[in-house]
Amino acid sequence: MLTDLYIKIALVVVIFAISLLIAMYSTYAERKVAAFLQDRLGPDRAGPWGILQPAADGMKMFMKEEIIPTRATGFLFIVGPSLAIMTACIGSAVIPWGQKLVIGSTTIDLQVTDINVGILYIFGVVSLGVYGIMIGGWASNNKYSLLGAIRAASQNISYEISMGLSIIALLMVTGTLSLREIAEQQHGWHWNIIYQPVGFVLFLICAFAETNRSPFDLPECETELVGGYHTEYSSMKLGFYLFAEYINMFISSAVMVTLYWGAYNYPGMDYIAAHFGANASVILGVVLMFMKIFLFIFFFMWVRWTIPRFRYDQLMDLGWKGLIPFAIANIVVTGLVIVLYHHS
Amino acid sequence: MEPLSNKKKVLDVKPLTLAEKMYLPAIAKGMAITMSHFFKKKVTIRYPEQQREFSENFRGMHSLKRDEDGRERCTACGLCALSCPAEAITMTAAERQKGEENLYREEKYAAVYEINMLRCIFCGLCEEACPKEAIYLDGPIVPSDTLRKDFIYGKDKLVEAPLNQ
């Protein structure tokens, strides 16, 4: 029992470390991808190919002068970024990173906790994330920050609805809220994307809005809001906000892979398990899961450097008049197909 | 109003088709375009190590030329200063002494020759005005500095290096 606890703690630490590392290198990858899409080279001075750039950026963030405006609400001003990064981090707890590893007599479950309302937990955590932005914008005592925060809040509320509706159609297919079970159901190549393509597209769009990524990056906008919800922030507090966005991106990519792109499953996994041992198959699954996540992170960046930002009324139009009706139609069609399938 | 060029541009405002209203096909097209740039040759020049090649008629820092014997060509006639629209050039003339024939080509030379690089607009008129082919704007980009006084370039910075060095 105690070893189980140790294994869990180790797993938590490892997953935290991995998500922070990935978020760190996402900032580097973002700059590289941006550069490559624009026929440039991007950072290449710090270390070979610039791979020490995140460390240099972090160092810079820590060394910068920390300014708390006199008119700001001091306590909330500090709580804002902490909340943003905390909510971003704890989402990783319910994601199944792989199947169970068996070493000797101990079984290592590659998931921190398998709660039977996994998706609801993710939704809860994600919607808490907006508090970080909201509090930050409010505590800054700056009208531009407040406008950014308000835009973030209304955007998140609007897109949370269609995200929830797109998930309902998926839940009608899977019949469970547990992320582990959803992952297990997609064994081999029975990925949910085959059964729920429209739902996936809806979910993807909403995920962009929830992570405040372009084209839905209205909370921050230099041209309209001086900077956005983080106008008054400096040094590592600003760093936390920016970093939280990258962790969010990683976690939401992981959720999308788990829900729609077969999590750690891949075609021919039974064959690998039979011929090379179960553990080999599990490890390959974990590797492939991360590959899929990286592809999604790349996709996030690819979109960011392609599409311009929405105007605010267009954003609301799309959310309420476009995505929600589509999501409802998707639920109805899914229901009809399930009924017809079961009767034939 | 009658357009000056007689060209007509017909505005075509058709209502959006369903595919256009969906945004997604257009977005996919845009994504394909950006992706094609991912693999293109990069135009970046890694500056301090690599330098861009300038065009033939690039006008950079001035240099005061020497003739084939290594003597300064400038005779301090002042035409360059006169032609300079930014009034960046000043000079003091001096008479050549005995024994200085190997230093200056003519009897008169510029004892002090200064160009204020903050004023210079690199128009090249000094180059054109010079009857002695003494000044050319064939140098590199003028380097940056922090003090205004350091932008007044004297002969130490402008005159070409002697031949036998």
- How many separate domains does chain B show? 1
- B110 falls within a domain: yes
Residue B123 marked ligand-binding: yes
- B42 falls within a domain: no
Residue B121 marked ligand-binding: no
- A39 falls within a domain: no
User: What is the interface pTM, i.e. ipTM, of the complex?
Assistant: 0.75
- Please tell me the predicted confidence (pLDDT) of residue A1: 67
- Please tell me the predicted confidence (pLDDT) of residue A41: 87
Q: What CATH number is given to the structural domain containing B112?
A: 3.30.70.3270
Helix H, strand E, coil C: the string for A231-294 is CCCCHHHHHHHHHHHHHHHHHHHHHHHHHCCCCCCCCCHHHHHHHHCHHHHHHHHHHHHHHHHH
- A301 falls within a domain: yes
Does A307 contact B38 at a Cβ distance shorter than 8 Å?
no
- How many separate domains does chain A show? 1
Q: Which domain holds residue B74?
A: 61-158
This prediction's pTM: 0.79
Residue B80 marked ligand-binding: yes
Model confidence over B67-108: pLDDT tens digits?
888 888 888 898 999 999 999 999 999 998 888 888 888 888
**Residues with pLDDT less than 70, chain A:** 1, 344
Which of B27, B43, B46 lies at the smallest CB-CB distance from A307? B27
| Residue A89 CB burial class (10 angstroms; 0-12, 13-18, ≥19) | buried
Model confidence over B5-57: pLDDT tens digits?
777 778 888 888 887 777 888 888 989 999 988 888 888 888 888 888 888 88
Q: How far is A25 from chain B (nearest CA, A)?
A: 19
Residue B163 has pLDDT above 70, yes or no: no
What residues pair up with A108 in beta bridges, in sequence order? A101
- A28 falls within a domain: no
Residues of B in contact with A307 (CB under 8 A): 27, 30
Residues of A in contact with B35 (CB under 8 A): 37, 302
Q: Which domain holds residue A262?
A: 64-343
- A53 falls within a domain: no
Contacts of residue B154, Cβ cutoff 8 Å, sequence gap at least 6: B112, B113, B114
* Peptide bond connecting A325 to the previous residue in cis, omega within 30 degrees of 0: no
| Token digits of residue A227 | 């900077």
A307 contact B CB<8A: yes
- Please tell me the predicted confidence (pLDDT) of residue B1: 64
- A334 falls within a domain: yes
Contacts of residue B6, Cβ cutoff 8 Å, sequence gap at least 6: none
